[in-house]
Structure 1
């Protein structure tokens, strides 16, 4: 069937952020057709991540760009493609990725990194990478509306670079797979790719949100012998147990040093710790909780303040290490399709991460669930 909208402006609904902490406004916006190597996608499902929450609150002053369409975890169907797009076509089922892969730059060509010079994550970028212009406009086209994290999925239609689009099997459940756009991939990938946890090893997880619990699921899948979960919210412990966590510590009620307690119950320190909270003190405790000589701390939490690492240089001579991890170390376009297959086959139970499902127009209620710590992932149906 002929696509009569191809090459034309589409008017649709979007949730527009107009100020820090203000309720997202469901508005009619105009979405321009894709240019060059871009793709326009009809979003079917999108979920709410803590990164969206942080941007909505305006926690990082440099990110306070308005009006803006947030959102970066989603699934959808390609509506149309630009002239220079290869490997993708109208009707393909896709997962957007905020951390793109052009496949050509010096970073993409190196196996030891998943960075991309052209389309890697850039929270400050507010326009299209190709030409610095916008693809969203107010209904009367009097006001440009800015992009977010290469994706902007809180909209019925969005435009993205083809390097930020991953094609998936049409038989896969789109509602579930929207959460592999960020949270689940970040946590599981940190275990499988960055740390490469092996059977019998011990891990500690600081912060039991969706990313932290994805770390637990990844560690269990790898056969970790001990998975210690740390959080100040005891309501997360039952969920964590289902994800594979073997020991829990409520850091808000602990009288002694958190790292000393982890060293004690792990018998000398864990092999790997994962900092998922974006808290500097938690990062230090995560570092000290690992075993002398070989312990590795993987940093996943987003630190919005311009603070430095709480580690004295001499402490690194103990053999402990710290490494940052973006998008679980996955090269999105080349490795995410296989990860999606593994999730569908049951290596990671995606259903456990989806705690709420709401219609798109209830997006502010979904944000509040995350603020209140009542949800892991709220999936919105468009």
Structure 2
């Protein structure tokens, strides 16, 4: 039986540190379930939410956090039809509360539904001891899974986003993919790309992050692009790739410079996959896109179907994000935010472990 009160990390004011408070444990309604949070990881998107830079606009007071592993404590009145039961360990993507009735839900994917809510943005998130969760978005994690909750937690945003990107890139074995930005998302992307059979070139401006993926064995080549002029950049890429530009570039960094890098190193008919979201619009040279017949493809957090496929892929391949060995507590959340803001992520994803 859940208690009546719980600890939560609350964004009280945009741009300010989160506040740890005691708040009431929510009640599951409709198809929602009450869950106890086992592990919740910090995502770079949380930083943009705190600063008020997300397009939909987060409205304080708000409990942040949108990637976690949780355990079901109680079913809402309409949740049982989704096959869940008390004690199930589950994870879920950012999206929830889709309608199932609109054209997007029926024909494209529930993640495109105009009625969805965004966990930790327009609905309460996982940086709390308990929360409620849409049963329709849940992905059950087998109890015999070899991975820890801390390893699994970052999959439910960072992992599924870059898995979606690599799926949309339609990589063929032997192709070369550049991962532009190898922090949290990019580190996972290098592992997935190798599992897809691609040659991986890791690109960043931080030596620590490049050294981390190189030491982890998930990058065939690494390149620090800081200070490189455009001709020098493509020259270095050709040196690393048998005289060729890359077949695909997945940009996980949220900067215009990263997108310029990704575009400039593609071969004709190459694919640029957009993942990172800069705070300002990204300009592009339409002539270059047209003359070289480049493809620009968006990737996003998938819905329940894509999330389940990614989780199955990770467990079948034994591929998990690199996790910071420190066992963070909820009270450490503002320190975690400061570390991520400073780019100190080479030790792996920072995860709050509740139990």
Spell out the pairing of 1:336-375 with structure 2 (5 A cutoff): 336-350=307-321, 352-375=322-345
Question: Partners in 2 of 1:213 and 1:342 — Cα distance?
Answer: 17
Say if 1:239 and 1:120 are closer, same or farther in 2 by CA, change over 3 A: farther
1:1-382 aligned at under 5 Å gives the runs 3=1, 5=2, 10-60=4-54, 63-85=57-79, 86-87=81-82, 88-100=84-96, 105-110=102-107, 115-118=111-114, 120=116, 122=118, 148=121, 150=123, 152-172=125-145, 173-191=148-166, 193-225=167-199, 227-241=200-214, 242-257=216-231, 259-261=233-235, 264-265=238-239, 266=241, 267-292=243-268, 294-305=269-280, 307-312=281-286, 315-327=289-301, 330=302, 332-350=303-321, 352-375=322-345, 376-382=348-354
Structure 1 Cα separation of the partners of residues 232 and 53 of structure 2:
27
Instruction: Let me know the Cα RMSD of the aligned residues.
Output: 2.6
Judged with a 3 Å threshold, the aligned counterparts in structure 2 of structure 1 residues 168 and 151 are, in CA distance, closer, same or farther, namely farther
- Deviation readout 1:259-298 (Å, 9 max, x if unpaired): 5235533323211001111112321321221111x20000
Structure 1 residues not aligned, in runs of 5+: 124-146
- Secondary structure (helix, strand or coil) at the match of 1:26 reads strand
Q: Partners of 2:149 and 2:218 in 1: how far apart?
A: 25
Secondary structure (helix, strand or coil) at the match of 1:107 reads helix
1:68-116: CA deviation from partner (whole Å, max 9, x where unpaired): 11101111111222212222232221102103466554334446x5633
Structure 1 stretch 68-77 or stretch 15-24: which is displaced more?
A: 15-24
Q: Is the 8 A contact 2:99 2:115 kept in 1?
A: yes
Shift of 1:120: 4.7
Offset at 1:121? 6.4
Note if contact 2:151-2:320 (Cα within 8 Å) is conserved in structure 1.
no
CA contact (8 A) 1:11 1:28 kept: yes
CA distance in structure 2 between the partners assigned to 1:17 and 1:275 by the alignment: 29
CA 1:295–1:347 in structure 2 vs 1: closer, same or farther (change >3 Å)? Answer: farther
Cα offset for 1:258? 6.2
Q: Which consecutive aligned stretches of 4+ in structure 1 deviate over 6 angstroms post-superposition?
A: none
Q: Aligned equivalents of 1:219 and 1:343: distance in 2?
A: 12
Counterparts in 2 of 1:102 and 1:197: CA distance versus 1, 3 Å: farther
If the length of structure 1 is used for normalisation, what is the TM-score? 0.81
* Shift of residue 23, structure 1, vs aligned partner: 2.0
Matched residue of 1:271: which SS? strand
Q: CA deviation at 1:28?
A: 0.5
- For residues 108-144 of structure 1, the C-alpha deviation after alignment (integer angstroms, 9 at most, x for no partner) is 4446x56331565658xxxxxxxxxxxxxxxxxxxxx
Deviation at 1:314, TM superposition (A): 6.2
